[in-house]
Amino acid sequence: MVVVSEFQEKVFTLLKQIPSGRVSTYKALSDVLKSSPRAVGGACRNNPFAPDVPCHRVIASSGYIGGYLGDWKNVPSGQNCEKKLELLEGEGVKFDLEGMLVDRDTLWASFKV
């Protein structure tokens, strides 16, 4: 049995609302939770249910791909970030070579609390 904190549970509930083919931001989630983007990132980093609970659909508010399971594109392996890009591209969300979101119309923030 996996144990998660109350905060993680709230984050994961919101993550499940993000539709396939759309992305949201750490800031959008933190605004709903009245928290910080870093706290949301921490919950995503420790998501034992990924990719079923789609933390890969969360990016930086600048449009940058951000990290996935604790990895960022510029870390030595960058392995998890490549997986995040693959998952999102498989859902139709495109990023340029610098890791920036191509179509900002894919941003989504219609969370129900």
DSSP H/E element including 58: strand 58-59
Task: In the chain, count H helices and then E strands.
Answer: 4, 2
Contact 93, 21 (CB under 8 A): yes
Map tokens 């870390």 to a residue. Answer: 75
Active site residues: 55
